[in-house]
């Protein structure tokens, strides 16, 4: 259910420095009312002295985090939609995206951000662990991998793009 990592998720260094210990907290997505007694889990933020990656030290089982009733949909929150529209505008101004480019969004939720790139390229990939959310991006015509992003998923995506030089 809960695993505490001792090595950096990016570089596997064991030089993790505690930034903040939040103690035991409920999973935010289940905070739907004030009466339900919730399970709590350790949560702490650490910083890798080797590669500077800022990360959460605890791994909670994906079955707990992303059940099929995962309630958070980006498209349902106007402020989030606006934020992703602004993010899209900023990315589009910064990068010259053309129709040969591929955009990959990790944890794409219901596709609010990645779907905006449809006007620039049809090569869009969503990686999303929640099945109902992944079904939404599939219906939007976005290539979707209904899974967590991890080394195995990275390998699948790499096979799509990596073309060895002959």
The contact set with Zn ion (CB under 5 A) reads: 8, 10-11, 13, 48, 50-51, 53
Give the Cβ contact number of residue 109 at 10 Å.
Answer: 22
3-state secondary structure of 117: helix
Q: Which is nearer to Zn ion, 12 or 85 (CB)?
A: 12
Q: Min. distance of Cβ 9 from Zn ion in angstroms? A: 7
Q: Are the C-beta atoms of residues 125 and 148 closer than 8 Å to each other? A: no
Q: Min. distance of Cβ 105 from Zn ion in angstroms? A: 23
Q: Are the C-beta atoms of residues 120 and 98 closer than 8 Å to each other? A: yes
Rounded CA gap, 149 and 153, in Å?
A: 5
Q: Which is nearer to Zn ion, 50 or 59 (CB)?
A: 50
Over its C-alpha atoms, the chain yields an Rg (Å, rounded) of: 18
Q: Which is nearer to Zn ion, 8 or 112 (CB)?
A: 8
Q: Which is nearer to Zn ion, 10 or 77 (CB)?
A: 10
Q: Which is nearer to Zn ion, 45 or 97 (CB)?
A: 45
Q: Min. distance of Cβ 27 from Zn ion in angstroms? A: 25
Rounded CA gap, 147 and 62, in Å?
A: 10
Q: Min. distance of Cβ 22 from Zn ion in angstroms? A: 21
Q: Rounded to the nearest 5°, which phi and psi values hold at 159?
A: -60, -30
Q: Min. distance of Cβ 127 from Zn ion in angstroms? A: 21
């Amino acid at each position: 259910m809960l695993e505490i990592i001792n090595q950096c998720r990016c570089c596997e260094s064991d030089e993790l420095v505690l930034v903040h210990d939040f103690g035991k907290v409920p999973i935010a997505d289940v905070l739907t009312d004030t009466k339900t007694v919730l399970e709590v889990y350790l949560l702490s933020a650490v910083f890798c002295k080797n590669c500077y990656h800022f990360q959460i030290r605890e791994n909670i089982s994906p079955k707990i985090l992303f059940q099929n009733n995962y309630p958070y949909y980006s498209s349902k929150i106007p402020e989030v939609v606006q934020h992703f529209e602004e993010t899209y505008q900023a990315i589009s101004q910064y990068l010259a995206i053309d129709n040969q480019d591929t955009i990959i969004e990790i944890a794409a939720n219901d596709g609010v951000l990645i779907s905006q790139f449809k006007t620039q390229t049809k090569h869009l990939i969503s990686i999303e662990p929640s099945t109902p959310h992944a079904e939404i991006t599939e219906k939007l015509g976005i290539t979707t991998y209904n899974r967590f992003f991890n080394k195995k998923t990275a390998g699948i995506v790499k096979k799509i793009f990596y073309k060895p030089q002959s």
